[in-house]
Chain A
């Protein structure tokens, strides 16, 4: 009987040891980070990205954007902080949340309570941002949201979250601009449009606000379909679309979906006059995957290397030399967010959150690679009040021409004339 007790005990002890060690480890962390504070000699910024999982490719590119910014800043010696009367280098801490909200919450806790970051950047995806924003709010840490576009986030009255990229409801402005340009300026009579969207927070916001804008402007909606994420066969939806035959067919979808949809469009031999995919054609390998069929397809990005933003071309050249492809908005927007942070810290002269925050609220940040960034409040087409968004944010409609993405709307930014109609196959 004693032998039996000892044996069971061994197992229990094993478990106990593991847990105690972990607890002690946690305790030590706590001590060294909260209690024993070393002198400030660097600025810590942190983020959690979905580096593995479905959003790995865009997240990877975000990481590249951040890394370039960190290098550029540190190449100059760091950010000058008047309070310390010197330049402080920036250290970048990043984690992988695998696209899971609960993991992201845990990681932001880690960034704040263990790594003691001074500033945060936003995670990838609106859902995850909604989950992690309360953590930033609780600890009063500024979070610059560079890649989460759903309107719901700025509608939540978060004091410490600032959105740098265009919000979903701003996207519709450039679609409308495109159609207006084609109809009024170039004389092509665009009258009808159709929208197919994935049923998820950010795509739905983009789709619905675009529809509202277009309908208010006089265009007729002839098709609207929502599909659950993960659908692999679009033939029925596309057959319906072919029947409705809108002048402008717009898919708010995932990159992988666009591949299947385009192939199935070919299958039913349907060439809409204007064909747009929010994501897919902006992926570097799209042109190679589709060849001549890719010519004339529309897509979007909240940034483009041919946009007239200061230093954008310099950034593009260096990025291309380093990573071998043109930078997408996934890389440029983090870089721009970093630029904003640097300028805000310099203007505030301190790392104190409240002071930097008031600078963010009042300052007009010129010469970022995303143009002039100014944070403020805006009411979206659905009537929601959005706080602390980038009022100057713009989203471009792009078109593949000769295998290269060109800006074609809004027309004041265009880098090429639109090809109309879509040549197809």
Chain B
């Protein structure tokens, strides 16, 4: 393959990978932005979304991209339960950040193992028989491509919600200063609740998109969630543009770095990049 095509091939792959990472991270970012906690249940809920999409496809033949929508609704309900039953009651305690971390971690374990008992660890996948999309001499993975489209669509929707709607405005207010928002009469509990619902719903959507790419197993969320958390933090907590930038950097470092050296060093590329970013900008890419 000639160098130029090779370059564009890798570029396309990296870009799509970045979109996938972005999709994974917007839910996390949203929840952090409003509640100031890192939600460790995000990964497991992604996995639930993947299973929802898988079962809808396998049992009823529903296209997984439609399944994403249903996954969104069902995972929002999970978010609703988590917020109202678990998170909100402790939201006023002094070490809420640490407590929420432990709590969501516990719920995450719970969810993963319920899935394990229900559906066992057999590796499943959604097969859409999609041939690769060819542009010239470059071919792109169809599942990645559609996953990327969903990422773009979801991000745009979220942007619209945050920026253009009243609810979004209220959300921004709560994220900025919770106490003052309360004083101004904004129902912070309701806002938090909606945010967690949307955040978890987005996790479900991510799962639906990923069901066509990765093996659907109870472990699905864990590895990716770690990367997503890292991206969100390095991008600057609460910042969507930062998360996107972080995803791009991560994906590009991974893909191009590996190509020029051994895959054994592959993680180092993105790890060192992230680390350098943190050292140079201690509050993340867009922070400080």
A residues at B contact (CB < 8 Å):
52, 54, 56-57, 60, 196, 199, 225-228, 230-237, 239-240, 242-243, 255-256, 258-260, 263-264, 266-269, 280, 283-286, 288-293, 425
Contact = CB atoms under 8 A, between A and B. Distances in A.
Contact of A283 (B58, B123, B132, B214): B123
Contacts of A228: 263-264, 266-267
A292 B17 CA distance: 26
B119 to A, nearest CB: 10
Contacts of B144: 267
A242 B1 contact: yes
A258 B10 CA distance: 20
Nearest to A325: B122
Contact of A237 (B9, B116, B141, B263): B263
Given A243-B1, A256-B219, A236 B266 contact: yes
Contact of A226 (B13, B214, B255, B262): B262
Given A226-B264, A233-B254, A269-B134, A259 B121 contact: no
Q: Which of B58, B132, B214, B224 has the most CB of A within 10 A?
A: B132
A199 to B, nearest CB: 6
9 contacts: A57-B217, A226-B264, A227-B263, A236-B258, A237-B263, A256-B217, A259-B123, A263-B141, A266-B141
Given A231-B266, A236-B10, A267-B13, A57 B214 contact: no
B149 interface: no
A294 to B, nearest CB: 9
B223 interface: yes
Given A226-B262, A232-B227, A236-B255, A269 B132 contact: yes
Contacts of B36: none
Interface in B138-169: 139-144
Interface residues of B, number: 49
Given A256-B219, A285-B123, 9 more contacts: A225-B262, A226-B263, A232-B214, A236-B257, A236-B263, A260-B215, A264-B141, A285-B124, A293-B127
B120 interface: yes
Contact of B127 (A236, A260, A291): A291
B232 interface: no
Contact of B214 (A54, A237, A259, A284): A259
B121 A56 contact: yes
A290 B122 CA distance: 14
B259 A239 contact: yes
B192 to A, nearest CB: 31
Nearest to A232: B223
Contacts of A289: 123-127, 215
B9 to A, nearest CB: 6
Contacts of B134: 269
B66 interface: no
B131 interface: yes
Nearest to A287: B127
B277 interface: no
Contact of A260 (B124, B132, B214, B256): B214
B276 interface: no
Contacts of B140: 267
Contacts of A260: 213-215
Interface in B248-271: 251, 254-259, 262-264, 266-267
A267 B267 contact: no
Contact of B10 (A235, A263, A269): A235
A292 B129 contact: yes
A425 B223 CA distance: 29
A288 B54 CA distance: 11
A293 B131 CA distance: 10
A285 B264 CA distance: 29
A283 B266 CA distance: 28
Nearest to B134: A269
A120 to B, nearest CB: 25
B6 interface: yes
B99 interface: no
Q: Which of B139, B263, B267 has the most CB of A within 10 A?
A: B263
A268 B224 CA distance: 22
A389 to B, nearest CB: 29
Interface in B179-213: 212-213
A52 B110 CA distance: 13
Interface string B1-37: 1000010011001100100000000000000000000
Contacts of B129: 291-293, 425
A199 B258 CA distance: 15
Contacts of B256: 236
Nearest to A56: B121
Contacts of A280: 123
**10 smallest beta-carbon distances between A and B, as pairs:** A267-B141, A289-B125, A236-B258, A57-B121, A259-B215, A227-B263, A269-B139, A236-B259, A235-B13, A56-B121
Contacts of A60: 120-121
A225 B263 contact: yes
A267 B122 contact: no
A239 B9 contact: yes
A239 B263 contact: no
A266 B17 contact: no
B113 interface: yes
A230 B223 CA distance: 7
Nearest to B265: A228
A267 B255 contact: no
A56 B266 CA distance: 27
Q: Which of A227, A243, A289 has the most CB of B within 10 A?
A: A289
A57 B255 contact: no
A60 B266 CA distance: 33
Given A233-B17, A242-B1, A52 B113 contact: yes
Contacts of B113: 52
Given A233-B254, A236-B10, A269-B132, A263 B213 contact: yes
Nearest to A259: B215
A266 B132 contact: yes
Given A52-B113, A267-B144, A239 B215 contact: no
